[in-house]
Chains A and B, each alone.
Chain A
């Protein structure tokens, strides 16, 4: 395995050499200083992001920063800093170095609010970037949870699928699992979290610099299946710029609801022309407390550590990183599945290599390459035998290899920006302890994404062609539920090939004075996963016997969205209506029938059906006084599937399972001079639109308190975040929790996060 990782790095380096011969053309440097608008003092620890090239830097104690070797062209430079309004400005150079003085304005609005300066002072379409959302700074710290989904769940339209404390996965507008792609530094996480509610996401949010969410054409660079969106956790494990000196963060976090503790150390430093990035973090928690008492077997202990090296040269950079993710966690007991609960031991080793070569000839601006290899394994331990040894019920192993190459071009014809590339993924999947046979999946896709403006209209369009090959060594009759119960015809194991063309167009029109309106259309494609095709076995941790279907057709959908927005210095609002119409929505249907081999488990059969998921989302943030900000948001999602009669004719519709209820959230925040305090209210309506064999959940209203304080010293920036979640210890049930029929969500929780930037 190590040899393989070494080969990846060497191969990338070999690729870089010929390509780097291109990269001797004109480039320029951006340097500057970040200052406070009122005091004119330098601002340290500002996060500088050159968006088109994904170059990042952090301002020094003196407020200075530098980004070197930028190919000539036009770019968006964004500066984030806690306590200040995020600022974006256009940078253009024909080869001359640029020195900037960036003046930041103190703001009490959330860090999502973006002030666009420079050429785009009138907010032309290209500055709006509706399809993307970034979470960083104080928002990220205030919402930081023990899982990625917990961290995102306060965003409008976001929910989390859960099964105890550790295995959470984000759900966006009712879309989850394979329909939401989770990446770290742009690379697939390589775990099996999309398959089942008991499998955890192998990315710890504690060391995230920022979290990006992309929808529409931009998401096609990663796949055509992410109809819900792409979530990219930015950790910069391979640095893209050479830091001037040692910098980093140290985080310490504690919470009372499960006596949880976590710590994280992130370091970046230069060694000659090399940039080194190291991350160490650990997380520990006991059983979770609820208003009804403790939930058994909800402990976790996790570590996620990484080291990366990058060689920064005038032609670009090449770098590699390696990381481990080890986690032991518990799945709570279920009298109908596993009365003692299941313990999961998870191990993931990851090796990444990436390079960026500056070309900047007539057409091409830059080429990006990345390769990644992940070795994932988890064991589901169902108690101990008479000798005291663990009894492994099911063991999942997944080897994932990714290789992506992407080229970005200069302004070309009517196109301002654009990129095209190839992404490939190879998965080798092996399950022991279940009837699921060993299987492999190869996916490759080519795509092109272009942007252009027509006056105040900004258009982004993308197209992608995918080829997917799923194969298994198994032959013969597939003894799934259909073969026995007649719900589908008996079938055979078989290899499957899928091809499809997908596309997306997003148009945003600037109405002036801060108003904008737009629409996005996406034609998605998702080949059935190996589990959906071939699985046949008990899955005690999710209380089910899962049965695939080798004849499944791919999932295709039309996703449509219209949105309006308004932004000025005091108000930031948006509203969206969305509709996702599925030709063949794939899901594990609870048949309500006990399995023939495991009568203690119900059969869950993967099926495809016509379905629709639609709804609306609104959010508004307003600075109502100089130091007071109010925020309100609401989201509502409906899901339905078509039903057929015994002749296969359409006979109406019924609700889809696992659709979140109507939710409204509001918060009020006082912020002044590095201190902020506020309260947040969350209301969820009753969810009685339930799928087959799914129980409804009641409405709830919970209240949180939060406070943050930041303290600047000469060389350090200290931040303290104190939260009290569910302050009234309300008993409530998450409709997307796999254990919602048995146990409520966590009770009152005091959390304290200390983070120091140095």
Chain B
């Protein structure tokens, strides 16, 4: 009986040792803290024309047929603070739901996360979706941001 107890104790010790061996191997757990976007503000000449926060979209982008406007995106973090992600690792992609609206990325070191938006005709229900990519993978995808296109009264193009 006593002998059995000693062997049982030895076995228990081995169990503990084995558990220790296993636990010695572990995944890397380092992670960098980064501001996470939960919304965005789209600005025209420094003024917010449309914003999204917690899934709610307010405002719209106003554009006239034949016009091209330059817009800048600032993202909003959990605390409601605007921020600009590191442009070396992040980029934006602007997609339109119609062929009337076209965009081109004009981001630069001075003005990151900027794009031109052009309207080649007028129509209802136009919108764009802005995606922020982090090293190629989407990190933030906006809801449909409305674009209101009004018919041109003159053929002038402003920029």
Binding site for B on A (CB under 8 A): 1, 4, 7-8, 11, 14-15, 18-19, 21-22, 371, 373, 375, 382-383, 385, 389, 391-393, 397-399, 401, 403, 405, 422, 424, 426, 428-430, 433, 435, 437-438, 440, 473, 479, 484, 538, 593-601
Contacts and interface: CB of A to CB of B under 8 A. Distances in A.
Given A373-B25, A438-B31, A597 B18 contact: no
Contacts of A391: 135-137
Given A7-B21, A22-B7, A405 B15 contact: yes
Contact of A594 (B11, B21, B143): B143
Interface string B17-29: 1110111111111
Contacts of B140: 597-598
Contacts of A403: 15, 18-19, 22
B91 to A, nearest CB: 10
Interface in B107-129: 129
A433 B134 CA distance: 10
Interface stretch (B33-41, B42-50, B62-70, B151-159): B33-41
B7 A19 contact: yes
A424 B19 contact: yes
A531 to B, nearest CB: 15
Contacts of A595: 55
Given A403-B22, A430-B29, 17 more contacts: A8-B21, A15-B11, A383-B136, A393-B137, A399-B27, A401-B22, A405-B15, A428-B27, A433-B137, A435-B36, A438-B31, A538-B138, A594-B143, A595-B55, A596-B38, A599-B142, A600-B141
Contact of A596 (B25, B39, B136): B39
Given A391-B137, A424-B19, A593 B14 contact: no
A438 B14 contact: no
Given A22-B7, A426-B22, A597 B139 contact: yes
Contacts of A440: 26
Contacts of B27: 397-399, 428-430, 438
Q: Which 9 residue pairs are nearest across A and B when measured between Cβ atoms?
A: A401-B22, A391-B136, A430-B27, A438-B29, A385-B136, A599-B143, A600-B141, A15-B14, A428-B27
B99 interface: no
A385 B93 CA distance: 13
Contacts of B15: 403, 405, 422, 424
B87 to A, nearest CB: 15
9 contacts: A11-B18, A11-B21, A19-B7, A371-B18, A405-B15, A538-B138, A596-B55, A597-B37, A599-B55
Contacts of A389: 136
A1 B25 CA distance: 7
Given A4-B22, A392-B137, A403-B22, A597 B7 contact: no
Contacts of A435: 36
B90 to A, nearest CB: 13
A484 B55 CA distance: 10
B14 A14 contact: yes
A747 B141 CA distance: 36
Given A11-B18, A597-B36, A401 B54 contact: no
Contact of B29 (A473, A594, A596, A599): A473
B48 to A, nearest CB: 18
A286 to B, nearest CB: 27
Contacts of A11: 14, 17-18, 21
A391 B140 CA distance: 15
A598 B31 CA distance: 21
B22 A484 contact: no
Contacts of B36: 435, 479, 597
A11 B137 CA distance: 44
A405 B7 CA distance: 14
Given A405-B11, A597-B140, A399 B26 contact: yes
B23 A401 contact: yes
A18 B3 CA distance: 11
B78 A479 contact: yes
Contacts of A422: 15
Contacts of B137: 382, 391-393, 433
B18 A8 contact: yes
Contacts of A399: 25-27
Contacts of A373: 22, 25
